[in-house]
Structure 1
Amino acid sequence: MPELPEVEVTRRGLVPLLGQVVAQVIVRQPSMRWPIPDHLQQTLVDKKLLELSRRGKYIIARFESGALILHLGMSGRLCLLQCDIQPEKHDHFDIHFTDGRVMRLRDPRRFGAVLWAGLDPATHALLSVLGPEPLDDVFTGTWLYSQIRTRSSCIKNVIMDSHLVVGVGNIYASESLFRARIHPEKAANQLGLPECERLVAEIKATLHDALQAGGSSLRDFFGADGNPGYFQQEYFVYGRTGQPCKICGTPILSIRLGQRSTFYCPHCQKR
């Protein structure tokens, strides 16, 4: 599933569409994770795209008439193409612009979403419950320490809870915990303030490094321009079961936490 860096890379790739006017909306497959609203042709045509922002793993496209919430799901991509490029089998949704370009949602598994959020997307049910952005100043070690005092679940699952902090998905949780030298199974409320400060710093650093590398291209992800990301070449632990730790040489282990594979070094990340 595309995580925060991949979604942000996608958003940045769509920025050239800002200021363009919608010429046509095409819905080829309305049955996504939620049905695509059938009024978008009337609501968006002749309206200008004013802003592209991101909240967690959601892209918010604000037009003169209101905002769309876009989610890539498990396998989705938003592509920026010329409108004469013919749609493929899994191309379910298009917004054509008067300058001859199209924003196209390609999603083989159809877990993505195109939702109408009206004039105030922050109040939408999907966005109003989200925690702070991990790259924002409010997300600090002190803040994290205060929020997890009563949480006995393992820290890996806690930092993946979007109600606590958004966008720290499976890949970047494993990588951040390794960088912070914290075992993924450690109970969240057993972390001291110094550990929380170290973990927050490494979450920010890991996400920043992933953004610089264009995200991680695993299976389905490519940016809006069709280019892959390269952060997977820098992984310390994720997907490296049995391979030597890049720091100490100990074989990387994998376990299942919250029904997700988790990767760690038993020497660098002692419980």
Structure 2
Amino acid sequence: MPELPEVEVTRQSFGDRIEGASVRSVHMGKPLRWPVGYDVDALHGWQVGKVLRRGKYLWLPLARSDGTQGGLLIHLGMSGSLSFSHRLPPAGVHDHFEMVTDKGTLRLTDPRRFGAVVWGPSMHEGVPGKLLAGLGLEPFDEALDGAYLHERLRGRSVAIKQALLAGDIVVGAGNIYACEALFRAGIDPRLPAGRVSKPRCEKLVREVQSVLQQAIALGGSSLKDFKDAHGAQGHFQLATQVYGREALPCRVCGTPIRRVLQGQRATFYCPICQKR
């Protein structure tokens, strides 16, 4: 599933190029997770604004010449990707959203159709507002620090890794990145969240931010078929310390990396470097 780094890399790969474009037409393929909630034929002539990201969602703002505003909230689902170009091939069976503009065509390809494109008068109203309402802080928000994390974890018996994945405290620490951040912070992923001390929370915040920054710089992770809007793959998967390295020696201490299931998600960790 594309996580925050992959979504941010996608935004960076087409956001500047589509900003200011005039919409010529919008075409929908097979139904996605939710209905669009708007007559897409009526979007002809609307202008695209600055593309934003919130968690794993992209917000594509649109404005009409009479001042009416709105936009489309886009989620890539489990296997979706966006492409943007003047020279896209004919739409295929897995292409379910296409916005043709005077600067190029934006297309969502989603083989499993778990993605979404939904209309809203703004990011904070309608269906977009409901979908984004429960999200935690962005990982690079100034309000995110050790004290904040420690307070939000207080009393939680769920494992720290699962608390990170929940997304109601901080967004972006998906499965790969949570494993890597916990390794760098020296924290066992099975440790109850409420038992993580404030100093360890401070270190964990720094490592979550560091891992995500590195992942974005490397173009995200292309474990299966992720590509940005240019068609380029990411390379963070080549730099992981624990994720996907079961039974291989830890790069720090040489102990074989272990794999366990937490909430039906694979967790990778070093039993020596990461403490409870």
TM range (shorter): over 0.9
Counterpart code for 1:216: S
Question: What's 1:91 paired with?
Answer: 95
Q: Determine whether 1:109 maps to 2:108.
A: no
Question: What's 1:27 paired with?
Answer: 28
CA offset digits 1:88-123 (Å, max 9, x no partner): 221111000023x100000000000000121x2124
State percent identity of aligned pairs. Answer: 45
Tell me the secondary structure at the aligned position of residue 25 of structure 1.
strand
Superposed displacement of residue 217, structure 1: 0.7
Question: What's 2:80 paired with?
Answer: 76
Q: What pairs with 1:121-160 in structure 2 (closer than 5 Å)?
A: 121-123=123-125, 124-160=129-165
Separation in 2, partners of 1:48, 1:106: 23
Aligned residues of 1:67 and 1:116 also touching (Cα < 8 A): yes
Separation in 2, partners of 1:248, 1:217: 27
Superposed displacement of residue 35, structure 1: 2.2
CA offset digits 1:112-150 (Å, max 9, x no partner): 0000121x2124100112111011111111100111111
Aligned residues of 2:48 and 2:62 also touching (Cα < 8 A): yes
Counterpart code for 1:51: K
Unaligned runs of 5+ in 2: 64-68
Aligned residues of 2:72 and 2:117 also touching (Cα < 8 A): yes
Mean Cα displacement is larger for which, 159-168 or 188-197?
Answer: 159-168
Counterpart code for 2:222: S
CA offset digits 1:127-176 (Å, max 9, x no partner): 11211101111111110011111111100000111111112111100000
Separation in 2, partners of 1:85, 1:131: 38
Unaligned runs of 5+ in 1: none
Separation in 1, partners of 2:184, 2:142: 20
Superposed displacement of residue 49, structure 1: 0.4
TM-score by length of 1: 0.96
Q: What pairs with 1:1-271 in structure 2 (closer than 5 Å)?
A: 1-15=1-15, 16-29=17-30, 31-37=31-37, 39-42=39-42, 44-64=43-63, 65-83=69-87, 85-99=89-103, 101-118=104-121, 120-123=122-125, 124-271=129-276
Superposed displacement of residue 83, structure 1: 5.0
Aligned residues of 1:72 and 1:107 also touching (Cα < 8 A): yes
Separation in 2, partners of 1:224, 1:46: 23
CA offset digits 1:231-269 (Å, max 9, x no partner): 111000111111111111111000010110000000101
Superposed displacement of residue 85, structure 1: 2.3
Separation in 2, partners of 1:52, 1:71: 13
Let me know the Cα RMSD of the aligned residues. Answer: 1.1
Separation in 2, partners of 1:220, 1:89: 16
Separation in 1, partners of 2:197, 2:49: 44
Separation in 2, partners of 1:205, 1:38: 39
Separation in 1, partners of 2:270, 2:110: 34
Structure 1 consecutive aligned stretches of length 4 or more whose deviation exceeds 6 Å: none
Counterpart code for 1:109: R
Aligned residues of 1:153 and 1:187 also touching (Cα < 8 A): yes
Counterpart code for 1:113: A
Number of equivalences? 267
Separation in 2, partners of 1:215, 1:122: 27
Separation in 2, partners of 1:266, 1:28: 48
Separation in 1, partners of 2:110, 2:37: 17
Tell me the secondary structure at the aligned position of residue 51 of structure 2.
strand
Aligned residues of 2:38 and 2:119 also touching (Cα < 8 A): no
Separation in 2, partners of 1:40, 1:14: 21
